Amino acid sequence: MTTGLFWFTNDLRLHDQPALWKMQSVDKLICVFCIDPQWFRPNGLNAKAMGERRLQFLYESLADLQQQLQQFGQQLIIKQQTPHKALTELIEFYNVDIIVRSQHAGVYENRHWHLLQQQFPQRKFITEVSHTLFAAEDLPFAIGDLPDSFTQFRKLVEDLALPRPMSAPQQLPPPPGPIAIDKLSTPIHKPSPFHGGETAALEHISEYFSADLPANYKQVRNELDGWQHSTKFSPWLALGCLSVRHLVSKLRTYEQNKTNNDSTYWIYFELLWREYFQWYAMRHGAKLFRFDGIKNTKSRRCYYPERYQKWCNGNTPYPLVNACMKQLNATGYMSNRGRQIVASCFVYDLNLDWRFGAAYFEQQLIDYDVAANWGNWQYIAGVGADPRGGRHFNIEKQTQQYDPNGEFIRRWQGDIDLVPLDSVDAADWPIMPPSKQ
C-alpha cells in the first residue's frame, strides 16, 4: 500500500492542479497546509509576514479548499508548525512513500523542501508547475540565463504556446485514517470586496469575462480606486486559488468570441510581468531580499523610524501617498499605480531602505506574492531588473494626472493633519523650528 502526502502552499485549488493529479496512483493521501508561527512574529524589517487582512483572506481560502476536499472524502490537515517539523512528523508517523508539491519561488519554502529531501533520501519527492504560465523546459533559455530585463524576456516568450489548463480531478484517494487538525483561532472578520477561495475566484473570473471590462482595461488600469478599474485577479492568483493558465485560457476565449484589442493584450502583457518576476525570484534566490539587490548597487539610504512610521500610517507631507497608504491599511489592497507611487516616495523622497517598504507590503497586501512584491520593489529602487536604474515618480505630477480633482485623496483622507516630514534627525535629535535655532 502506497501513501502519498500533498503539501499545499500557494496552490489552494483543485482546478489545473497537476501536482494533485500525481496523487491519483497512491492508495492513501494526506493533504496538508502549514501555518508557520514565525509568520506572526516581528522580523528584522519592523513588520510581520502575515497581517490581519492577509490572514483573513488565507483562512477563507483554506476553508473553501477544505469544503471542496470533503466532497472527495478527503480533509485538509492544517498544522501550526514550521513546514519542516510538521511534514517530518507526518512522513514518519504514516510512513509516507511519495511527497508532492507545486513549484514555489520562495527561498523559505524551498529550504524546507530541500531539508526534507536530505532527511528522507529513500522517499520520492515530486515538484510540479502550477504557479506559472510556463515550465522551465518550455522556456527558450535556462533559468540561469534569464534575460536581465522584462522587455527581453517578453520578446522571447509572449508567442510561445501555453499548456492547456487541467480540469479538477474526479476523485482522490482517501486519507490513511483520522488525523488531528490544529484548531485555528478565527481572525476578526473585516468587510472586504475580496473573499478568499477557489469558489470566489472562479465566480469572479466568470463575471469579469461575461462583461465588457476586458475590452476597456487599458483605458482604466491606472485608476487609483474602483472595483472595475482593474482585473482584481491578483489576490486569488497569489494564493493559487486561481490558476494563471486557466485565466489566460478564459482571456483567449474572450478574444475569440468577443473582441481582441490592445486592452485584452495588455491583460496578458501584465501577466507576463508576473511571470517574469516568478523566474526572476527562482534565478536570484536570496538576492531578492538583499539591500544591494542583484546588482550590488551601493546606496546611502537607511532606516529613519519617524519617516517609516509616517509612511506606514499615511501621515507624510504628500496627500496622494497618504491616501494610498490609508487605503492599503483599511482594505489590504492598493492599485498598481498607487504601489509605484508610494514605493517611489519611500525610496527617493523619504530616502529609506527599500526592504522595509517591501516587508510592510508583505504584511499588509492580501495579494502578496513573494516574487512579484520583492521583484517590483527592487525594480523601483534601482537594485533589480530596471535597465534605467530605478523609477522616481514626481508625486505632484502623479497627483495631477491620476487624481486631478482630489476625489481619491478626499475619500481616503490623505490631506488630513499634514505635518512636516521630520521632527527629529536621523539620530533622533529634535529638529528645532527655524526661529528657535
Does the annotation place 148 within a ligand binding site?
no
> Helix 354-364 to helix 336-344 angle, to the nearest 10 degrees?
150
Does the annotation place 280 within a ligand binding site?
no
Does the annotation place 367 within a ligand binding site?
yes
Does the annotation place 130 within a ligand binding site?
no
Mention every residue, 6+ apart, whose C-beta is less than 8 A from residue 240. Answer: 9, 10, 11, 12, 13, 102, 130, 131
Q: Residue 390 — φ and ψ, nearest 5°?
A: 120, 160
Does the annotation place 435 within a ligand binding site?
no
Residue with cell 517609516: 308
Does the annotation place 225 within a ligand binding site?
no
Does the annotation place 368 within a ligand binding site?
yes
Using H for helix, E for strand and C for coil, what is the string for the chain?
CCEEEEEECCCCCCCCCHHHHHHHHCCEEEEEEECCHHHHCCCCCCCCCCCHHHHHHHHHHHHHHHHHHHCCCCCEEEECCCHHHHHHHHHHHCCCCEEEEECCCCHHHHHHHHHHHHHCCCCEEEEECCCCCCCHHHCCCCHHHCCCCHHHHHHHHCCCCCCCCCCCCCCCCCCCCCCCCCCCCCCCCCCCCCCCCHHHHHHHHHHHHCCCHHHHHHHHCCCCCCHHHCCCCHHHHHHCCCCHHHHHHHHHHHHHHCCCCHHHHHHHHHHHHHHHHHHHHHHHHHHHHCCCCCCCCCCCCECCHHHHHHHHHCCCCCHHHHHHHHHHHHHCCCCHHHHHHHHHHHHHHCCECHHHHHHHHHHHCCCCCHHHHHHHHHHHHCCCCCCCCCCCCCHHHHHHHHCCCCHHHHHCCCCCCCCCCCCECCCCCECCCHHHC
Does the annotation place 206 within a ligand binding site?
no
Does the annotation place 369 within a ligand binding site?
yes
Name the binding residues for FAD: 217, 230-234, 367-369
Residues forming the annotated binding site? Answer: 217, 230-234, 367-369
